[in-house]
Structure formats: structure tokens, C-alpha cells
Structure 1
Amino acid sequence: MIRRMLLLTALLAGPALAAGPLAPPGAPAGAFPKPDRPVAEIVAPQWSAEAARDKAGEFDAVARGMGIAPGETVADIGAGSGYYVVRLSPLVGPRGKVLAEDVTPAYLASLEKRVTALDNVTVVRGEPHDPRLPPNSVDAAILVHMYHEIAQPFGLLHNLAPAMRPGGRVGIVDADDIPSRHGTPPALLRCELAAAGYRETGFHPLSGGAYLAVFAAPAPDQRPRPETIRPCRDAATPR
């Protein structure tokens, strides 16, 4: 009888809760203009095979270019399969934190399983226009090979800014190609980030035609109002 009651309780409770947001909603998606460029489809949780990325030294180059140090809190926006997450965890160490954010339920479920043994990693469910991260909590944020997939880049950048600590860095890794071929031309990236109030502080070419662009986020009270943001024209994409 007791066993039957326990089973019934478990069935009624349903599956364990998946990752959730860490902050209340920011500005709504409808407040922002859409980008004046194609938005690539999300087709896979990772850019390429992890062994190939390690051989190319991708993670080390990005971590070095971002100046990521032990004890910092790093947010991986669009963490996907967790390639960066599992490498950031030992880099920031027990005094640091990794916030692994994504919006795709299947990726989040797989990611939660992968990081079970990593005490300094928290999996976060965000929204396409809002990473839902706590204010003043992040030293460095990375967006790796996914900026071209963001349907609401101005909303995401606007809502990410309050999460950044003073002196925080936002690094974007992408291919130097047009969005329909899963890349972002650097000139277009700079224009969109500037439209959201971000300031470029570094640029690092990477292997395979990719790059790392580093930006400083605006203070929350210095962000452009959503209605004043103007999309950037993607001159590189044929129309």
C-alpha cells in the first residue's frame, strides 16, 4: 500500500523541473526592431567536432582574448552542447561560476546531464531576446558561433547589459561570412552592437576564418531606449 502511494505521488509530481531563468523578464521582444538581415536557423547544438576545435586551439584563444581568470563568473549565451562550459568550469575554478544559458529545451536537457558533476555550473533557460541573468552578476559573457542565429539581437543585447558587472567583457565568436552561411560580417556586428550601446574593445582573428570581437556593455541607465534603435543594413548579403 505504501509503495503504491509513493508511486502515485511520483507520477503526480511529474518529471524533475528543468533549468529555469535566474532573473525577472527584461524589456519585451516587441519593443525592439528586427534586424535588417537574414537570421540563420538553429541547426545543431555545436559548431563542429570538439576534438577538431581543441586541435585548432579555439577555446584557449578565446579565453586568452577575453582575459578570463579564476574566480570570475562567465555566462555562455547559447551554450548548446556545452563545449565551452566544461572547459570554463576548471578555468574559473571553485571560486568562479559558469552560467550556461540556452533557449532550446532539448539542448538544456542534454546540457544539464553533461554538467551534473560540475559544482560551479548553473544551467539557465533564457529567451531569444533575453538571457534572464541576474543584474550585476557577470564578469564575462561569450556568444560563440550563434550571433547569426539570434532573431532579436537588439533585445538580447539590451537585456544582457544589466547583468554585466563594471568592467565586464562581452565576446562574440563568429565566422567572417554572411548570416545565411552561418556567419556575421565584422562590420555588421560592430554596427549592431554600437546601435545597442556597446563599445568595441578588442578584435582577434581566429583559425578557420573566424574571429573574436570583444565589447564593453553600456551601463543600464546608458542603454539606448528600444524605440530609438535603428537596424543596420547588411551590405554583404545579396538582396
Structure 2
Amino acid sequence: MLPLLAVLTGAAMALAVSGCSAAAPEGAVSSAAPPGFATERFPRPQRPVAGIVSDQWASEDSRERAGEAARVIDLLGIRPGMTVADIGAGAGYYVGRLAQRVGPKGQVIAQDIDRRTLDRLGQRVSRERLGNVSLVLGAPHDPRLAPRSVDLAMLVHMYHEIAQPYGLLANLVPAMRPGGRVAILDVDGPVPAHGTPRALLSCELAAVGYQEVAWHWIEGRSIYLAVFEPPAAAPEPERIVPCRAE
């Protein structure tokens, strides 16, 4: 989106700095996690990549009227004390709602690859006094999250915009805690139309060793919430076989 879960523009492709620090002031971006596998080691995805048109998928008012965030958060069983990473956080629709659910003993990591998007989100975090939110600046192939720091990673309406999905998924593995999960919210439709077909999503996640554990339809049979368990260790990039969109 938006977010990731997620702004993968040409200018952002050069970004390689990340930030994540619970001790940082509200709204600040600070450096922490080391880089993962280099992008050139991964196969190119054999499918199109949707262009980024906005830092939000739809207006917050319309999403709130539809009850999107409340339903997704309930389905994922997010509870106080958890650490949730919103990959491609964009304008931050989920950030405040997640911060409220995980509570003061939990943490929300708002990640994006666009510095200006994160700066705007940082202002919102400060304005809303979200003391349990930290900001991370990542790269298109690497979320740059600290090792063993995340219970749940969310990629909301942005997976179709990921230019290097195999890299992002592989480099996400070390950040996940034992029992951690990765949740992807997207439209079951063509990638150029800002969706990810179910078969393609399942194939790309499986190519990096992820196992699907739950599938929920959020809006009719069009918008889905897919939940995966990451592998114990990421495969070597050269061993990943890319999927092809039908």
C-alpha cells in the first residue's frame, strides 16, 4: 500500500537504511537492524509489480465504516503485550489501532521504505502520543527489522507493490519470534489492478518456505486475509524458484 506493507518506488529502491528503537522519541526513525541477503542474489519475480499511487489504500473513514481494522485485528488474535510489525505502514491506518490493542507493554513497529512517508507518519505518532510505536526505514527487498523482534508481521494492501517479494520474505524470517506469523491482506485479483491472485500468493510464500495456516475472506470473495508461519530459517536466495502469474 500503501503502506508495507509498502511503497516500492524507483527512488526508494536506493534506500538501505533502517530504524527501529523502542527508546527513540515518539515519531523518530533510528538505525538498528543489520541488512539481510543482498537483493541481487534473489530471482526476479515472474509477474508484474503494481505501481504505487498513494500511501493509503482507501480513506480511513470508509475503512472504518466497513469495520476493516477491528475485524482483521480480532481474526489475528492480537492481544496486549505482543509486538506487531506493520510492514508498509503508509499513512498509518492500522498503527494507532494496533497500538491501542497491544497496550503499553506491547509494541508496534511501523515500517516503510519511503522516508517522507515515515516522516509524515512520525508526526501522526507524536500527535497521537503513541509511545509504544517505533519507526523503521527499510529497503524494497529487506524490511530491516531486528532479529527475533516480531510476533506478527502484517502486510496490508501492499503485497502486489513489492518489487522483490522473495527478498522481503526471506529477510523477514530472522525477525520473527518462535511461533510468529505473517498476515497478508489483499484483493484476489490481477496484480496490475492492485491485487494478488490467491494461487500466486500461496506459490510465492511457499517458494520461501512459508506455510499457510489460515485463510479468511474479509469482503465477499474478493478481499482476503491470509496467515502464514515462516520457516525456521530462510532458504539460500539462489535456491528459490520463482512463481509465474497465470
Match of 1:128 in 2: 140
**Please, which moves more after superposition, 20-29 or 176-185?**
20-29
Match of 2:45 in 1: 35
- Secondary structure of 1:123's aligned partner: strand
**Please, which moves more after superposition, 52-61 or 142-151?**
52-61
Question: Alignment partner for residue 108 of structure 2, among 98, 116, 129?
Answer: 98
- Secondary structure of 2:37's aligned partner: coil
Question: Alignment partner for residue 233 of structure 1, among 235, 239, 244?
Answer: 244
CA RMSD of aligned residues (A): 1.2
Is the Cα contact below 8 Å between 2:215 and 2:224 reproduced in 1? yes
Match of 2:6 in 1: none
Identity %: 58
The runs of 4+ residues in structure 1 deviating greater than 3 Å are none
Match of 2:218 in 1: 206
- Mapping for residues 130-169 of structure 1, pairs under 5 Å: 130-169=142-181
Cα-to-partner distance string for 1:105-148 (whole Å, 9 max, x where unaligned): 22111000000111000011011000111111100000000000
Distance in structure 1 (CA, Å) of the matches to 2:186 and 2:39: 23
Is the Cα contact below 8 Å between 2:152 and 2:183 reproduced in 1? yes
Any gaps of 5 or more consecutive residues in structure 2? 1-26
State the TM-score, normalized to the length of structure 2: 0.86
The structure with more radius of gyration: 1
Q: Match for 1:43: what amino acid?
A: V
Give the superposition deviation at 1:171.
0.2
Distance in structure 2 (CA, Å) of the matches to 1:65 and 1:162: 25
- Secondary structure of 1:90's aligned partner: helix
Distance in structure 1 (CA, Å) of the matches to 2:58 and 2:231: 32
Give the superposition deviation at 1:57.
1.2
Is the Cα contact below 8 Å between 2:28 and 2:134 reproduced in 1? no
Q: Does 1:170 align with 2:194?
A: no
Question: Alignment partner for residue 65 of structure 1, among 75, 78, 89?
Answer: 75
State the TM-score, normalized to the length of structure 1: 0.88
Distance in structure 2 (CA, Å) of the matches to 1:31 and 1:24: 17
Is the Cα contact below 8 Å between 1:58 and 1:207 reproduced in 2? no
The number of residues matched between the two structures is 217
Give the superposition deviation at 1:18.
6.0
Distance in structure 1 (CA, Å) of the matches to 2:31 and 2:236: 24
